Amino acid sequence: MKKQCSVKVFSKIFLILTTMLTVSCATKPFVFSPNKVQGKWEAKVQIKELDTGKVNVVRIDVVAKKDQALRMEVSGTLGVHVASVLLRGDQIEYAVHTQKRYFSGPVTERSLRPLLHIQVEPRWFYPIFFDEPINNKNWTCLRDQNQVIASCERLEDHLKITWSEREGEKKRVTVANDQFDLQMVVKDFTTKVEAPEKVFSMQVPSSYKRYKLK
């Protein structure tokens, strides 16, 4: 009799704990930091050129200080170190290690074309990673029910940036227009930035051929 009572008590406790856990999971709060000033991100990027159907998949590791400096390391699917990109103010430089070429010059929407084969303004990566609207009169931006940025659109060339599938700081970002579709899945984030003086500087081998961006 005592054994049966113990089993019943245990069953009730187990049921209560299971119910509490289920409710807790169902009402998990939206964990998101809207005031990021620096950070490190890891993401997988797929770029599709719509006119040719060509698809390129890379992994990027990003370190950034909001609106000040951004470093991006680009790797291929097999772990090959493809490129290093450094953005500071209105200047950009990057080394394409697989081709031993180095590019530098002012930031424009054409700056990354030799690397990505599409036109993406490098400074868009600040609002993309820091989850902020693009502050330009040609852009219209919307927020979701949590008041987090959800989309920005430039009607003149049908260019749209969309933030979706959020889970805390994890997210999917889509940058697309009539020429290309870029899908970025951000998988990891931390606010810790180590040795910024080293991160936000670039040493390029003397053997690399140099090109000026215009």
Average pLDDT, the chain: 89
| Phi, psi of 59, rounded to the nearest 5 degrees | -110, 140
Element housing 197 (H / E): helix 196-199
Q: What is the pLDDT of residue 27?
A: 41
Residue 204 in domain: yes
Domain range spanning residue 57?
Answer: 38-212
47 and 59 in contact (C-beta within 8 Å)?
A: no
pTM above 0.85, yes or no: no
Greater model confidence, 4 or 40? 40
Q: What is the pLDDT of residue 174?
A: 99
pLDDT tens digit string along 23-45? 444 444 446 777 899 999 999 99
Residue 194 in domain: yes
Q: Which CATH number does the domain housing residue 44 bear?
A: 2.50.20.10
Residue 4 in domain: no
Residue 11 in domain: no
Residue 16 in domain: no
Residue 156 in domain: yes
The single-letter code of the amino acid at 205 is P
Element housing 12 (H / E): helix 2-26
Residue 20 in domain: no
The residues that bridge with 59 in the sheet, in sequence order, are 44, 75
Q: How many domains would you assign to the chain?
A: 1
Residue 27 in domain: no
pLDDT tens digit string along 102-141? 999 999 999 999 999 999 999 999 999 999 999 999 999 9
